[in-house]
Amino acid sequence: MFRIVKAFPLICLLMVLPLAAEESRLAVVDMTRLFNAHPDTKAAEERVTEARAEARKSFLKTSETLKKALQEHQDLLLAGKTAEAGKKLEAIRGLERELALVKSTRERDLENQFLEEKRKILAQVKEAVRAVNAEAGYVLVLDRSAAAESGIPMVVDVRGLADITDVVMARFKK
């Protein structure tokens, strides 16, 4: 029942669209395609990939240091040097905390960085759609790549509606 109520506005919109299409100008755009084609998207993805590679290097370096420290701790215990082994154990705990922090914090920071870059690119894409719409005078521009929470496409058929994706994409090259 809740899903039907939640989808009711969309169902109403889809029922009215054929009538509105006769009286008004409607268009669709593929926002996913536009986002992927935006010139800043590839650079943002490359920056995040590089940052992830650096984080991985750092993680592996610290992991290797931890592995060596564990071996040294084991060697000290076998040699009967318990006091020195205890000090080494403190260093090991510090490395373990550092690894846990690196793994959780860096990954979250990288994800936030990429999300912020995505928001900026999306704002530029929306602005390009608005500019094309301002020139063409459409009453409504729908995203044909949008999907509901259920994964069902929001726009199933666009026959008869103008697809302005390529026109918007041309603005990126200016």
Q: Mean pLDDT of all residues in the chain? A: 83
Q: What is the pLDDT of residues 34-89, one digit of tens each?
A: 999 999 999 988 988 898 888 888 888 888 988 998 898 898 888 898 899 888 88
Residue 128 has a pLDDT of: 95
Residue with tokens 């592995």: 67
Q: What is the mean pLDDT of the segment spanning 132-160?
A: 83
We report the CATH number of the domain holding residue 159 as 3.30.910.20
Residue with tokens 């200016």: 174
- Given a cut of 90, whether residue 17 has pLDDT beyond it is no
Contacts 24+ apart (CB under 8 A), 113-116: 113/47, 113/48, 113/51, 114/44, 114/45, 114/48
User: Whole-angstrom Cα distance, residue 94 to residue 88?
Assistant: 10
Q: How many structural domains comprise the chain? A: 1
Q: DSSP letters of 53-115?
A: HHHHHHHHHHHHHHHHHHHHHHHHHHTT-HHHHHHHHHHHHHHHHHHHHIIIIIHHHHHHHHH
- Residue 155's pLDDT band, with cuts at 50, 70 and 90, is confident
By percentage, how much of the chain surpasses pLDDT 90?
A: 30
Q: Which domain holds residue 108?
A: 2-172
